[in-house]
């Protein structure tokens, strides 16, 4: 069944394989009248680009995004915004060996069983390049949200055993190093850990945290399309994510109610909270505090070390995966988490417009 | 926007408030020809019933489920199955105080801001009774899955700081105590912890784990409607859940690739895996191993201890929430996690039928 | 696949069979804060009630609608509104003969082939009673639209060869006779025609026209969820409808462009049209003129005259369908067309709120 | 709200404007393993190409379709199939005049009111070129259906007052003339009528009929996603369609039940019908007979004759639309009706797989 569309009102549909002709996205339902900065979209794309940072694939691809429709005289028109990247680097012939067996931790086996066969070149549709459409769509969502004063910011919280240990930091702090860790000391230790992993022909996992500021209250549609449920789906759908939590997250399991409840208090004439264990979502709706979500990423499954697996003939074999692979997915995934969060919030924000008659009258009683 | 419908092919739509006339669900898209055991549905409902166990609300409600449509001569007909519970216990007048302020950790504030006002009686739509429709729908999903050899089993893995410490157990072990913990020692300690919470007018969080056995390979629709993404949404939409993880979950952040990858091996002529860090989902599709998901539940927000909050007039006040409340949500939520997991797997199983021409031909070439 | 849900933001899910325990609807996504007149819902339901008019089934059923949720202190809360009718008249045993063969023009054969068997009592899910949920949902939609000055009015335009021949009429004129024809002369001739059909143990077809006044401009979501496309689906989904047209409809096939184009002209400082061949929809969006749609209904398939058919054993047989059946469906379908039109317009009106940044700012910049 | 996606399991998402960089479609949910003939897709596209026939726009565009993803080694992979056409002919500057006023019968006014402004070049998103994505998607759907023995064939049934007057004809008869009328005499008269329209600076409407053979029984999901309801939406969403009917269509209004009912009879050991007034759909599900649908198309709204309208300053003006326009839309729309019908049947066919446990077991019990 069709599974490449996400969102109801603000909706993205992505397509493309790692080594096909290209990859892209159709963003449908974006409100008309947004001044879309095309260069900002490209800069956003560059943050997921291979070759951009030390610990990612050395393949150099410019990944130039082209906006094909939906923007006229610099503004969104309300019609679908189609964006695509042409693949420059799709040599064939490298993948004959991979085609014959199932790489541990990859989708080779499940793809074959579900569809009967697979485009094995570079991982096909399950490659990290699949996120190109997500990030391009996210770039549009973020420009939309920014117009309303909503900011989405993700960063690398942890790589292997090394976690960021600072509380306050700026967007610049995040972008100050290749690992997108806003804590120079942690970044240095993480780099050493990654060097060790490379020496051992191994790879590392990690964690990304994403924060949304400027949230209106009430976004999220109970009881199934709650804001946190939407975020959970959006972020879990990113390849390699194995866990998602919001606010105090898994820590709530061992907390007491008196400790976890966020008490309300008036502040500057507005309702606010003394703590934010809810991570900005109470009862499935935004409560006005910052959204705080975290995603756990598994280690890159492609490792050079020897592994057991089976081939298509049903024989047990030992393999060594060749080629140069990222020892860690996380830094390049930061922008993907940001994108999926932004798309979810944009969609929820538009959905919430229909929640009550006051909103309806604001639009129709002119 | 409508948010009370979940699922695409196998789909539930729930309705009802805590103290309205009743609550229910419409299950649409259930395949025709399933022998539906109505008594088994009722027994399943009884597992979420208040009054059934020591550490839950002492209110006694029979919560008798009635099947109104979609079943004829004992079998599902393929038309919508409407099921409902009439509320027996809806005294009014108790809630005038609660109506005037926002309880910390509850959806009072967000409901008011989103919709302009709320049905404040017993939490209205954000009450735990909202899960009646989920559990009734889940009972149907599980009977469907059982016919195909798929079993869904959840249990209490942790209450406060007390975790289950056994690996192997049966469904009977789970049902052997009020807390649904398949580890007598842990159950005893957890009970003591809950007694302490009650004495302190406080409450406890916890964790539920759910296991699905007998899974076919290939369920899940990349790239957004992956099996794990669907489970994340389904389970995060349950009230009080703040985190969801699959397989090794958050532990993958600090694991190495060589440690985390599940190696394949032939076993009895079939592809199987030496480990199950993936929790049964690889590349967003079921890989044939057991599905293993965990959900973190926050402590019951209704506590008797004094709390700060604000009222509808924008004044800071101190409150003590009256009434007798569960000191922990988790044991009653076990069946809800099971239900949402079952509904997700049922929907994914039906979606996967259209994945390839072999399946299409099996159905249409007679 | 689940097919009993209609609408995206304003959404109905219907359930129930003719001779099951009851029938109903869940209306989800209705904006909060509408003063819902429950008695008006009942009166609306009465317009589709059997026994209400001379040319309909003499079965008397009170069809008392009960609102189970989603309304608090007289206002919609934004949560699902569940409404249901308990079947009073579900004697069994009458249907053993019908169970054995396929009635021409009925869904008996297609139901059996699709689902493997069917609830044959009174037509089961394909009975006219299925429209109970549609009409109850429509009653809510119309109250919502009325608050914004939008009125939906349908009437019987034709019964058999007899067509209404007046241009101007009021809602009262429509309700002045059992056939809902706002033309006394036509109503009289149609009644004579129906008497003739009854004498001949035969039945008649007809046509319903529906008019929506007070439409805002721009409702409808190109290119697939256009307003006319939505209306076409909604109305064609009503049992017995075989055609749907808008404005000049099928006449456009033989019109010239200069004849069909609606010219624009300023009137009272607003853009208006000199003609309304478009039926109020241009480019798939409302153009501000009245919506005008027509639906063709086939004759009641249940006729007393002898017919050929086959039975479940694959034998050719001759049948006479017993019981008393409506000689025409149309008068009772008038309110169903109105309901489906109202639901579609309500949904489109909410969808359109997200069309541009001006609307978004009106809601969020407070 | 996003409106450029159609279908649930087999789903298309289209994008692009007349004079933007290009137009295209993403086909998602197409079963894996179909041998996709790319050249056949191009040939299918050529049938809607401007310049291909005498009575269509003389603009020559090659409209070369490129398949960007979803096909590997000649077969569909189950992943999204992205196809696009680069616009070769997008001179700007021609449209300054059109930008200032609202052309009668066009979507200029409604677009401006809904979105605040519009891409006025060549009609933007409401141009006939929007159908490029539909036709490319339809080409894939038809190849899928052909593998199962299902054929979809449309033709021009009427142009202005001239109707086809033959009953039996082949696909070749349809393709034998520029107007796609399988009746040489009618085609000749229609051509003369069109010449007259051109001389008068006017345009003509018409009608398309579409026939589907080889239908399995039971496709269609009651009660809202019925097969005829889906076809009605799909076809009404095509620009310029003002009416849709199935089988006897609007004629049923004046038919008697005994006349309209299709009697069943055994034929070659199978249930068949003596007539096909139902147009192959009974109770919203395919009944095994050929699907027969007709769509009424309005005359081309762009005419050279003088027309009244208003401009953006709210002034009444007289206009003459310049440029060379098709005097009739119908011949080029034939393939579009075929495409939308094919996509709808493909989607319904996949949906129906989940209808009953027999089908489920056929797929999962290996």
Each residue's pLDDT tens digit, A54-85: 555 545 558 999 999 999 999 999 999 999 99
Is-contact B117 C77, C-beta < 8 A?
yes
Asked if the model's pLDDT at residue A203 lies above 80, the reply is yes
Chain C interface, best mutation among B76, B82, B353, B364, by max C CB count within 10 A: B82
**Mean model confidence pLDDT for chain C:** 94
Is-contact B331 B179, C-beta < 8 A?
yes
Confidence of residue A365 (pLDDT cuts 50, 70, 90): confident
C349-363, D312-326, D334-348: least confident range: D312-326
Torsion over CA: B267, B273, B279, B281 (sign): negative
Give the pLDDT score at D90: 58
Which of C113, C255, C298 minimises the CB distance to D260?
A: C298
The reply to whether residue B33 touches residue D358, judged by beta carbons under 8 angstroms, is: yes
Confidence of residue A51 (pLDDT cuts 50, 70, 90): very low
Phi, psi of D334 (to 5 degrees): -55, -50
Is-contact B245 B232, C-beta < 8 A?
no
Q: Where are the domains of chain C?
A: 5-364
Cα separation of B230 and B7, whole Å? 9
The reply to whether residue B357 touches residue D9, judged by beta carbons under 8 angstroms, is: no
Name D52's Cβ contacts closer than 8 Å, sequence gap at least 6: D46
Cβ atoms within 10 Å, residue C61: 16
The reply to whether residue B105 touches residue A262, judged by beta carbons under 8 angstroms, is: yes
Q: How many residues does chain A have?
A: 366
Name B218's Cβ contacts closer than 8 Å, sequence gap at least 6: A110, A113, A114, A115, B285, B286, B352, B355
Which of B4, B66, B79 minimises the CB distance to C125?
A: B79
Beta partners for residue B267, in sequence order: B270
Superfamily of domain B5-364: Chorismate synthase AroC (3.60.150.10)
Query: In 3D, which of C121, C133, C347 has the Cα closest to residue C219?
Result: C347
Which of C26, C33, C125 minimises the CB distance to B15?
A: C26
Which residues of chain C does B117 touch, with a Cβ-Cβ cutoff of 8 Å?
A: 32-33, 72, 75, 77
Beta partners for residue A23, in sequence order: A16, A85
Give the pLDDT score at D289: 98
Which of A29, A79, A355 minimises the CB distance to C78?
A: A355
Q: The tokens of C196 are what?
A: 């003739």
**Mean model confidence pLDDT for chain A:** 94
Give the pLDDT score at B158: 98
Asked if the model's pLDDT at residue B90 lies above 70, the reply is no
Cα separation of A125 and A280, whole Å? 34
Query: B235-252 as b/e, with b when 16 or more CB fall inside 10 Å?
Result: bbbbbbbbbbbbbbbbbb
Confidence of residue A325 (pLDDT cuts 50, 70, 90): confident
Cα separation of B112 and B134, whole Å? 24
User: What is the residue whose two structure tokens read 């069946």?
Assistant: B335
Chain A residue whose CA is closest to C35: A357
Express as a percent the part of chain B with pLDDT over 90: 89
**Burial bucket for residue D168 (CB in 10 Å: 0-12, 13-18, 19+):** exposed
Is-contact A274 A263, C-beta < 8 A?
yes
**Burial bucket for residue B303 (CB in 10 Å: 0-12, 13-18, 19+):** buried
Cβ atoms within 10 Å, residue D21: 16
Q: Kindly state the average pLDDT of the residues A230-244.
A: 98
Each residue's pLDDT tens digit, C221-234: 999 999 999 999 99
Q: How far is CA A23 from CA A89, A125, D135, in A?
A: 12, 10, 21
Beta partners for residue C75, in sequence order: C35, C72
Is-contact B76 B30, C-beta < 8 A?
yes
**Mean model confidence pLDDT for chain B:** 94
Asked if the model's pLDDT at residue C55 lies above 60, the reply is no
Query: In 3D, which of D104, D121, D101, D44 has the Cα closest to residue D298?
Result: D104
- Chains in contact with chain A (at least 3 beta-carbon pairs closer than 8 A): B, C, D
Per 3-state DSSP, what percentage of chain B is helix, strand, and coil (rounded to 5)? 30, 25, 45
The reply to whether residue D114 touches residue A4, judged by beta carbons under 8 angstroms, is: no
Cα separation of B174 and C183, whole Å? 71
From the CA of A104, how many Å to the nearest CA of chain D? 21
Each residue's pLDDT tens digit, B208-259: 999 999 999 999 999 999 999 999 999 999 999 999 999 999 999 999 999 9
From the CA of B282, how many Å to the nearest CA of chain C? 26
Express as a percent the part of chain C with pLDDT over 90: 89
The reply to whether residue A252 touches residue B296, judged by beta carbons under 8 angstroms, is: yes
Q: The tokens of C138 are what?
A: 């429509």
**Residue B257: DSSP 8-state:** H
Give the pLDDT score at D55: 56
Between residues C123 and A169, the one the model is more confident about: A169
Which of C34, C216, C363 minimises the CB distance to A357?
A: C34
Asked if the model's pLDDT at residue C53 lies above 60, the reply is no
From the CA of D33, how many Å to the nearest CA of chain C? 23
Each residue's pLDDT tens digit, C325-346: 889 999 999 999 999 999 999 9
The reply to whether residue D355 touches residue B32, judged by beta carbons under 8 angstroms, is: yes
Cα separation of D17 and A71, whole Å? 10
Give the pLDDT score at B169: 96
Which residues of chain C does B66 touch, with a Cβ-Cβ cutoff of 8 Å?
A: 21
Which residues of chain A does C32 touch, with a Cβ-Cβ cutoff of 8 Å?
A: 355-357
From the CA of D161, how many Å to the nearest CA of chain A? 36
From the CA of A147, how many Å to the nearest CA of chain B? 21
Q: How many residues does chain B have?
A: 366
Each residue's pLDDT tens digit, B164-195: 999 899 999 999 999 999 999 999 999 999 99
Query: In 3D, which of C306, A357, A118, C349 has the Cα closest to residue D77?
Result: A118
The reply to whether residue D252 touches residue C297, judged by beta carbons under 8 angstroms, is: yes
Longest Cα pair distance anywhere in chain B, in angstroms?
72
Give the pLDDT score at B95: 74
The reply to whether residue B242 touches residue A250, judged by beta carbons under 8 angstroms, is: yes
Asked if the model's pLDDT at residue B129 lies above 90, the reply is yes
Q: What angle do CA B247, B251, B255 make, to 5 degrees?
A: 105
Which residues of chain B does C1 touch, with a Cβ-Cβ cutoff of 8 Å?
A: 8-9, 29, 350
Cα separation of B210 and B230, whole Å? 14
Task: Supply the Cα-derived Rg of chain C in whole angstroms.
Answer: 21
**Residue A186: DSSP 8-state:** H
Q: How far is CA B348 from CA A281, B60, B66, B341, C327, in A?
A: 28, 36, 27, 11, 45
Q: Using DSSP bridges, classify how beta strands D81-86 and D75-76 pair: parallel, antiparallel or unpaired.
A: unpaired
Asked if the model's pLDDT at residue A52 lies above 50, the reply is no
Asked if the model's pLDDT at residue D96 lies above 80, the reply is no
Which of D15, D70, D350 minimises the CB distance to A26?
A: D15
Cα separation of B210 and B153, whole Å? 6
Give the pLDDT score at D324: 74
**Burial bucket for residue B14 (CB in 10 Å: 0-12, 13-18, 19+):** buried
Phi, psi of B65 (to 5 degrees): -85, 135
Cα separation of D164 and D158, whole Å? 6
Query: Rounded to an integer, what is the distance from CA C168 to the centroid of its chain?
Result: 22
- Kindly report the pTM of this predicted structure: 0.97
The reply to whether residue C26 touches residue B9, judged by beta carbons under 8 angstroms, is: no
Which of B206, B249, B264 minimises the CB distance to A253?
A: B206
Cα separation of C352 and D3, whole Å? 11
User: What is the residue whose two structure tokens read 């199983």?
Assistant: B349
Chain D: which residues have CB within 8 Å of chain B? 8-10, 29, 31-34, 78-79, 147-148, 216, 222, 349-351, 353-365
Asked if the model's pLDDT at residue B351 lies above 90, the reply is yes
Asked if the model's pLDDT at residue C51 lies above 50, the reply is no
Asked if the model's pLDDT at residue A119 lies above 90, the reply is yes
Cα separation of D229 and C231, whole Å? 10
Chain C residue whose CA is closest to B81: C15
Give the pLDDT score at A50: 53
Cα separation of C151 and C145, whole Å? 7
Q: Kindly state the average pLDDT of the residues D203-212.
A: 98
Give the pLDDT score at B52: 45
Q: The tokens of B359 are what?
A: 């399946």
Cα separation of B180 and B187, whole Å? 8
From the CA of B134, how many Å to the nearest CA of chain A? 10
Is-contact A87 A20, C-beta < 8 A?
yes
From the CA of C302, how many Å to the nearest CA of chain D? 8
Confidence of residue D272 (pLDDT cuts 50, 70, 90): very high
Cα separation of B180 and B154, whole Å? 9
Please provide the CATH number assigned to the domain covering D89-364.
3.60.150.10
Cβ atoms within 10 Å, residue A264: 25
Is-contact B106 B84, C-beta < 8 A?
no
Can you give D161-172 as a three-state secondary structure string?
Answer: CEECCCCCCCHH
Give the pLDDT score at C220: 98
Each residue's pLDDT tens digit, B4-59: 999 999 999 999 999 999 999 999 999 999 999 999 999 999 998 754 455 555 44
From the CA of C104, how many Å to the nearest CA of chain A? 35
Cβ atoms within 10 Å, residue D364: 17
Each residue's pLDDT tens digit, D174-184: 999 999 999 99
Query: In 3D, which of C100, C134, C111, C114 has the Cα closest to residue C13?
Result: C134
Query: A338-355 as b/e, with b when 16 or more CB fall inside 10 Å?
Result: bbbbbbbbbbbbbbbbbb
Each residue's pLDDT tens digit, D32-49: 999 999 999 999 999 987
Cα separation of C158 and C135, whole Å? 22
Confidence of residue A335 (pLDDT cuts 50, 70, 90): very high
Q: Kindly state the average pLDDT of the residues A155-171.
A: 96
Q: How far is CA A163 from CA A166, A185, D273, in A?
A: 9, 10, 72
Is-contact A182 A170, C-beta < 8 A?
yes
Give the pLDDT score at D137: 98
Query: Rounded to an integer, what is the distance from CA C12 to the centroid of its chain?
Result: 13
Confidence of residue D280 (pLDDT cuts 50, 70, 90): very high
């Amino acid at each position: 069944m069709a599974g490449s569309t996400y969102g109801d009102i603000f909706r993205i549909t992505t397509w493309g394989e790692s080594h096909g002709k290209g990859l892209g996205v159709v963003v449908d339902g974006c409100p008309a009248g947004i001044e879309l900065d095309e260069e900002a979209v490209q800069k956003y794309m560059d943050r997921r680009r291979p070759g951009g940072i030390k610990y990612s694939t050395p393949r150099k691809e410019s990944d130039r995004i082209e906006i094909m429709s939906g923007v006229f005289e610099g503004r969104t028109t309300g019609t679908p915004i189609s964006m695509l990247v042409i693949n420059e680097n799709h040599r064939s012939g490298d993948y004959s060996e991979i085609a014959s067996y199932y790489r541990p931790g990859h989708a080779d086996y499940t793809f074959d069983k579900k569809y009967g066969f697979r485009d094995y070149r570079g991982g096909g549709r399950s490659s990290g390049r699949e996120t190109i459409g997500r990030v391009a769509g996210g770039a549009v969502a973020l420009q939309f949200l920014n117009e309303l004063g909503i900011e989405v910011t993700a960063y690398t919280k942890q790589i292997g055993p090394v976690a960021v240990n600072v509380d306050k930091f700026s967007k610049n702090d995040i972008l100050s190093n290749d690992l997108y860790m806003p804590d120079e000391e942690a970044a240095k230790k993480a780099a050493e850990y990654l060097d060790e992993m490379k020496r051992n022909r191994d790879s590392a996992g990690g964690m990304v945290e994403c924060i949304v500021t400027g949230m209106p209250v009430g976004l999220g549609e109970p009881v199934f399309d709650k804001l946190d449920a939407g975020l959970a789906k959006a972020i879990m759908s990113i390849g390699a994510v194995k866990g998602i939590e919001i606010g105090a997250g898994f820590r709530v399991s061992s907390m007491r109610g008196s400790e976890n409840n966020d008490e309300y208090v008036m502040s500057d004439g507005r309702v606010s909270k003394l703590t934010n264990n809810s991570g900005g979502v109470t009862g499935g709706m935004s409560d006005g505090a910052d959204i705080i979500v975290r995603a756990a990423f598994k280690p890159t499954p492609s490792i050079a070390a020897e592994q057991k697996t089976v081939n298509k003939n049903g024989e047990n074999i030992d393999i060594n995966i060749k080629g140069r692979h990222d020892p860690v997915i996380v830094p390049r995934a930061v922008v993907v988490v940001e994108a999926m969060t932004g798309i979810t919030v944009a969609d929820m924000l538009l959905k919430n417009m229909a929640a009550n008659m006051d909103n309806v009258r604001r639009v129709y009683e002119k």
